[in-house]
Amino acid sequence: MSGANSANGATGTGRMSGNGWLAGRRALVVGAGSGIGRAVVDAFRVEGARVAVLERDPDKSARLTAELPDVPVTVGDATTPGANSAAVTAAVNAFGGLDVLVNCVGVFDFYRGVAELDAEVIDRAFDDMFRVNVKSHLLSVKAALPHLRASRGCVLLTESTSAYYPGRGGVLYVASKFAVRGLVTALAHELAPEVRVNGVAPGGTLGTDLRGLPGLGLEDRRLDDTPGRAEALAARTPLGVALSGDDHAWSYVFLASERSRGITGGSVHPDGGMAVSTARREEHA
């Protein structure tokens, strides 16, 4: 993870600003050990927020604690109610309340189509995908809801270009991201006017460390930055850009700020312009 964007006056990773877009905001980022989640932590801190973290991986959690000792880190599985409750409690105890909840948890299926899925593995693969990509989001909102209502705060869920276009993942991944898009719509309707709910729908991302689906035996496979990946990502977007977690993080900053106080039930699309492109299946992300 690189340092924060120099345009915001930061000179190194994790520097906090006293008068940024999120000055005084209290945030919990779920799934913050790497990739987009870690970039959100850094960008929020640059913009003045106090941030707590829920992260499943003990090594990533230890690294966060070493690099950002003032960030409360809860080690736990975001697909369980207990871990989400513990992380919310840690944030509230540290900050006196909670204004922003961000969920960046996800797992990938590496473009497996229905014809490539054996019938006997669909049960497990479906449960794994929707437990991680959908239930973790719902449980994090449930745990944080009383505090977000009290502060009239906001929820930011991580969708994907896969929530809007085919070919950005396999059948299970695309379906799960459409479900997150549905959560944004349903929760925004239910929780208004006290809590705003929006999504961020990133395109293909450099440095994401997105892991494969255990139900398909892909748990040891990672969406790494292989040679030529940046060029491939850029080539499939109208803007010709390959975006990183740092790029996506500023969409979360905007939606968490008062500058978006009139927006709920929507999504920001940092994807290089996929809406004006012809989507196609990619065999190599």
* 96-139 tens-digit pLDDT: 999 999 999 999 888 899 999 998 899 999 999 999 999 999 99
> Which residues contact residue 174 at a Cβ distance below 8 angstroms, ignoring those fewer than 6 apart?
162, 163, 166, 168
List 164, 165, 173, 252, catalytic entry = 173
Task: Please give the pLDDT value at position 234.
Answer: 82
Q: b/e for 76-115, b at 16 or more Cβ within 10 A?
A: bbbbeeebbbbbbebbbeebeebbbbbbbbbbbbbbbeee
> Which of the residue ranges 4-13, 29-38, 71-80 would you say has the lowest mean pLDDT?
4-13
**In 3D, which of 137, 281, 149, 267 has the Cα closest to residue 204?**
281
Q: Taking residues 235-252, what's their average pLDDT?
A: 87
- Across the chain, the runs of DSSP E, i.e. the strands, are 26-30, 50-55, 73-75, 100-103, 154-158, 196-200, 205-206, 210-211, 222-223, 243-244, 267-268
d(CA 12, CA 17): 12
Q: Taking residues 73-91, what's their average pLDDT?
A: 98
Confidence check: pLDDT of 238 > 60 = yes
Per domain, the residue ranges of the chain are 19-276
Percentage, residues of the chain above pLDDT 90: 66
Contact 39, 1 (CB under 8 A): yes
pTM: 0.88
- Is 173 a catalytic site residue? yes
pLDDT: is 266 or 270 the higher one?
A: 266
Single-letter amino acid code for the residue at 197: V
Task: Please give the pLDDT value at position 14.
Answer: 44
d(CA 256, CA 260): 7
Confidence check: pLDDT of 162 > 70 = yes
Task: Please give the pLDDT value at position 48.
Answer: 97
Asked: is 19-276 a CATH 3.40.1280.10 domain? The reply is: no
